[in-house]
Every structure is written in C-alpha cells, then in structure tokens.
Structure 1
Amino acid sequence: MGSKTPLYDVYKDQAKTIDFGGWDLPVQFSSIKEEHETVRKKAGLFDVSHMGEIEVKGNGALKYLQSVLTNNVEKIKVNGCQYTAMCYENGGTIDDLVYYKRGEGDYLLVVNASNVEKDYDWLASHAEKYDEVEIVNVSNDFAQIAIQGPLAEKILQKETATDLSEITFFKFRDGVDIGGMKALVSRTGYTGEDGFEIYCSPEDAAKLWNLLLKVGEEEGIQPCGLGSRDTLRFEARLALYGQELTKDITPLEAGIGFAVKTDKEADFIGKKVLKQQKEEGVSRKLIGIEMIDKGIPRTDYEVFKDGEKIGFVTTGTQSPTLKKNVGLAIIDKEYTGLDTEVEVQVRKRRLKAKVVATPFYKRSN
C-alpha cells in the first residue's frame, strides 16, 4: 500500500484510487471525461497533497537558489512565485518546480511528489559552500488542494474576506482565512484554466475539502482525480516530469526554455550546455502530433519517418476537448514543421500522423 494523503479517508469510498509514485491517489470520481469537462466549464477540486515542499531560508538563500535553478530568482518579489527547472551539468532535468518567495531569504519550493528525496538530497549537497542557508523538507507540514476552472474564484470567494481578484497569476497570499482556516493561496495550477492552489495544514484539509465542495455545489463543482489532471495539463501542453522532462531531456528540448535564463549573471548548474542549446538550437524538440490513421499515440511509442526512427511519444491520449487522438512527442528537429507526416509505432503497426500546433487547448479569456 502507498502513502496516504490527509484527504484519503474523505474520498476513499467515492473514488477509484491507484498507486501513483508510492501514493494512494484518486484516478477518477465520476469519469475522466466528465471531470475534464467540469474543469474546463465550471470548477474541479483536486487533492495534490502528495506534492513535496522544501523550505530554503537564510541570508544566502537567494544567491544559493540562483546557482541551482534555471530561472532568474532575483526577478521575483515577495508574494510572487515562479516556474523553474533544476538541471544536471549536462542540461538534463532533475525536476521542474515552482518556488514561492514568502519574504527576504524565505523561499518555499514545491516539487514533484516522486522527486522529493532526490531533490532534497541534491539541494542539500550543493548548499555546503553557501553560508547561512538552511534547507528543510517540510512536506509533512502541508496538505494541498487545487480548485481549478472558470468558476474557481467565485466559489472560493464565498469563504474568504481576502479579495481574490487581487491575487493575480503567479502571485500568492499567505495566512488567508478560508472558513476559519489559515492557508497560503496562490493563483497557479496545472490544468490550463484559472484557479488556485491552497496550501493548508494537514489537520484542516478534510474540513476545507468538504467546505469547498459544499459551497461550490450550485456552480457544479466536482471532485476530480489524476486522470483528468493529466488530460487537462496535456491539452495545455504543461510538462509532466518523467515524460516531457527527464534526466535525459533538457528544459529547452521540452519547450520550457522560457524558464531558463542563460543571460542571468549567476552561474547555475547546467548553464553552459543550456546556453549552447539556446544559441545553436536544439537537435530535437517537443511537438504536437495528431493521428491520421485510427490509433492513440501512447507514452514511449516510437516515431518514424521514411523507415528511420526520429523520436518518441512523451504523452498521448484522445483529447476530451478536441475529440481527436493527439500526442506530444520529442523528435529530430528537421521533421518538426507543421503538417509534416510521420508514423507512430502502435503495437505491430506503423500508423500515420502529422505534426500540429500546440497547446492543443488555450482558454479564451
């Protein structure tokens, strides 16, 4: 049995749960398609308490983070957060993460669940040469609930006096009172929709979950599982560590070059390789494909052109919004032009597909 989040007992009888990176998590409550649609049109509630949180504090914190993260940490003000990557010397990705600046010399890093120990060990091992930096894995101090969808703000606003419209994209407030419970609320998410991620104490999680489901009833809020979380993030072309990003895939190959600032003054791990990739271009990159023949391009399926292997699928599914079989694939750059025909090895057959624009879905407002 995997680890259980503070919310497991609340939904264990309502959802189909699976082992996800060592955690027992809900894959779906109603159906993936229904939950997907609810988030696109109304609002969905996700248990993301399995995510890891690592605190980096001290006078040397900024300088230290600049040396291990690809984005420019200096640019973020208090109550702001930023998406970034952490790389090996060869440019391969250790993890992609978001960090929150809670105060001067006070940062909270939110990392992928399956990478918590690896990330913590890496961060700790590179902190030794910096004075006044303290790194603590505080994952057990937090539960995390995401409310996502066009009606998310309307629902959450019913239970807090804080004006949520003032928390703009990639900003947050700490100590927000929601129904008598204190939480850190950030306007972030992993669905391509508007919404918030709420960091609360594990003791408050169940009460908060039930409260939001109750006050959002009239807007049609639904609890959602990992299945729709994956189809939603995939349509919005948000990278998933272990698929679009790995130790063998650099942030530039995965299309998150916007989070890599090779022009920042600080030297960071992997900078040399990533700078070269930025200047010379990458030899392969992440693109969208749409199937022409009948079939679904699944993770790790090989992609061919004229009998030669040119890459592989990182994620693929039938898009609930587009009703088409589409995928993200990393392929050699000479075949990445729109409408280029390629073939995907689906079991014993090679099926026709074409390169299409991504993201597959972009919200209209």
Structure 2
Amino acid sequence: MTENYTALYEQHKIAGASFTDFGGWQMPLKYDSELAEHHAVRNAAGLFDLSHMGEVWVTGPEAAAFLDYALVGKISAMSVGKAKYSLICQEDGGIIDDLITYRRPSSEDGSDRFLVVPNAGNAKVVAEALAQRAANFDVVVEDASAATSLIAVQGPKAEDILLRLVPAGQHALVTGLKYYAAVEVPFTFAGNTTDLLLARTGYTGEDGFEIFVDNDAAAALWQAIAEVAEDGELIPAGLASRDSLRLEAGMPLYGNELSREGNPFSAGLGPVVSLAKESDFVGKEALTVIKAAGVGTTLGQKLVGLKGLGRRAARAHYSVLKNGTLIGEVTSGQPSPTLGYPIALAYVDVEHAEPGTIVDIDLRGKPETFEVVALPFYNRAK
C-alpha cells in the first residue's frame, strides 16, 4: 500500500509521535501516553491531525438535488451554515462510507456549494462514486483532499484556546457556533489573519472544533494553537486516544461497525435514511425492503453497547454467546479510561439486543460476562 504523509508529518516527528498506517496514511498513534491524551480531551483539550480525511466540494445549480440522490439523507433540507451526518450506500443498501456534509453559502453565480467529508480510507472511493453519480446533474465534483489539511481541537477548553487566535471583534463567530454547524472565521497566526472554515463537530464525545486549512498553512496553524494554550490545557493526541474516545461516545468506525456488507438499520442509523423524501436515491429500493422486513428491529442483528461486568476487555472479532450459543460478534472493544470498566460494540441477534440482557464474550476460550447497555457509554456534562 502506498504511504501518504500529511502536511503535519514533520510536526508529529518533532513531538515524538509513534506512527501507524491508517487508510494508507502514516498517522500519529500516540505521542507519549494514549491514556494521558484521552484524559486531556475529557478534562482540557487535545490537538488532532485529521488531514487524512477527504474533502470533496460539490457545486452547481443542482448540487442539493444531486446530493439528495447520491446520499441517503435529505441534504436539500439543510440550511446554509449547517452540517449533516449521512451515508453513501450501494444499490443493495450496503454502506460505502459515513460522512459529514456542510452546506456553505452560494457562489457569486447563485450555485449551491457543499463540502462532503468522507473517511480517510474511503476518500478516493467516495469522490469517484460522487463523480459517477453526478452524470445526469448540473454539478461539479472536485476532490480537494490532496490540498486540504484538517486540524481538530477537542475538549472543554477548546473554545477558550481557539478564541486567543481570533480577533476580539469576531469572538461571537466562535462562541455562537452551534453543534453541527460551520462558519468562516478569521484566525491570526504566523503574522497574518486568514479566514478559515471552522466547524463545531468532532469524534470524541466532547465539545470541540475542526478547522479546514490549506496544506501550506497547516504547520503554522498547528504550532500557533499549541503555543497559545497554557500549561495543562492542551496536548497533541493520536489515533489511539481518538479510538477510545469515540468508543466511549458510542460512535461507529468504518471498517469496524460499518461496511459494505452491513446496512444502516442494523447499525442503528435508520434515522439517517430519508425514505420519505420524494426523490429517488441510490439504494432506496433495497433499503425500503430491508426496513420493511424489520432488519435491526425484529429480524437479523443489531449493533449494541456492552458493559463488562468483570475486568477483562473484549476485542474486535471476539464471539458473543448466550447460554453457550453464538449470537454475535464484537466490532470494537477495550477498557474505558473514563468509566473504569471494559466496554464494547457488537452485532448481536435482535432477540438479545435489549438493554439489561446478560451475555458472554469468548475471551480466547474463557467466557467473560457483559451486559447490553444503551448507547452512548459516556455523555459529557453540559
């Protein structure tokens, strides 16, 4: 597999990061302690490089109608400045990727503008799928992933830290930004003030922001964010803590909980699918049949949260048992640094998916007791 490097790779090396391959990218796994990075995000703030994610611009007079067709959500109903979590599916309802779409102000000629952000390993696949699906629409699909970096500041101190880089007269752009919304904000760093797209989104279960920046300015922005933070407010964080944080928040990871072989209803993402919208969309017919059959409710399997009643943690692909009979498989699992006990996500047969159900997980030949619990495992104080 080809190795890709983000524009912040040298910054990570200087900070002493340990690297791992993720979706073909060399990404920081951790800098020192993944536990310290996890707790920093829960109690102060963490600084993440998300530049391996994709950025695909969809523009044109039919951009909204096109995305209604290409994705399973009703993107045309979004207000300018808002963001929406959605899925891009195959004709058979299998999930190609989960992604976030941002609706931006129209261009000077009145054309609608949307920014679609797919996951790292799927960025090229999603860009190609969108380009193919655009054949009968008056839109332009532009994959800007290679030129764009994405930096996230996540945690209860995130807003305070970023305000130090924003002119005082523009602070309301940040403080007034709602969850799942985005706005252009002037940031002052490296001796210049530059408008950057700031989104109040994240993958940690905490308040936080994601900043889109051109590659050539990414290192300077990263360094400026680190420098304005006071002692104990912010540390760089890698993929290991990002995974434990998203698991506590009950957020699915493509390749673990989501795949082309799965479907939105088993994954608990039925509300994301807008079967009621009048227009057709790719996968609508198959998803209509899947929902009508009761998949994820009365038929098949359902994604659930599992709380360990012992001390040993489950891992992906471990078997889930009920009275010795196989009923499912773990997709993600580890000890929860915040909660102090093992947690896991797993697909189990729907008849065993009710919270309170007791199951066993086969931990290398030894059963360990877990309880089905409601998701998410962790909710931040608001």
TM-score of Structure 1 vs Structure 2, range by shorter chain: over 0.9
| 2:132 counterpart of 1:115 | no
The 10-residue stretch of structure 1 (108-117 or 250-259) with the greater mean CA deviation from structure 2? 250-259
Aligned length: 364
Residue 247 of structure 1 aligns to which amino acid in structure 2?
A: R
TM-score (norm. length: structure 1): 0.96
Partner of 1:191: 204
Partner residue, 1:83: 85
User: Is it true that 1:124 corresponds to 2:134 in the alignment?
Assistant: no
Instruction: Return the letter of the residue paired with 1:352.
Output: T
**1:147 and 2:157 are equivalent in the alignment:** no
- 1:249 corresponds, among 262, 271, 286, to 262
Query: How many angstroms does 1:276 deviate by?
Result: 4.0
Candidates 326, 345, 349, aligned match of 2:362: 345
Give SS of 1:263's match. coil
Give the deviation of 1:294 after TM superposition: 4.1
User: Does structure 1 residue 171 correspond to structure 2 residue 177?
Assistant: no
The Cα of 1:265 is off from its aligned counterpart by: 1.6
Q: How does 1:10-159 map to 2 (within 5 A)?
A: 10-13=11-14, 14-104=16-106, 105-130=112-137, 132-159=138-165
Report the alpha carbon displacement of residue 129 of structure 1 after superposing the two structures with TM: 2.0
Contact preservation (8 Å) 2:157, 2:233: no
SS at match of 1:33: helix
Q: Which residue matches 1:8? A: 9
State yes or no: 1:233 paired with 2:246: yes
How far, CA to CA, are the matches of 1:272 and 1:219 in structure 2? 52
Give the CA RMSD over aligned residues. 1.5
- Name the CA distance, whole Å, in 2 between partners of 1:175 and 1:359: 31
Contact 1:176–1:185 under 8 Å retained in 2: no
TM-score, normalised to structure 2's length?
Answer: 0.91
Query: Which residue does 2:109 correspond to in 1?
Result: none
Taking a change above 3 Å as real, the CA distance of residues 219 and 275 of structure 1, as seen in their structure-2 partners, is farther
The one-letter amino acid paired with 1:339 is G
Match of 2:346 in 1: 329
Structure 1: tracts of 5 or more residues without a match: none
Give, in angstroms, the shift of residue 233 of structure 1.
Answer: 0.7
1:204 matched residue in structure 2: 217
1:269 to 265, 282, 285: 282
The partner residue of 2:316 within 299, 309, 320 is 299
Query: Alpha-carbon deviation of 1:79?
Result: 1.4
Instruction: State the SS of the aligned residue for 2:317.
Output: coil
Please list the CA deviations of residues 48-101 of structure 1 after superposition, one character each: whole Å capped at 9, or x if unmatched.
001011111111211111011111112211111111011112221010000111
Q: CA deviation at 1:277?
A: 4.2
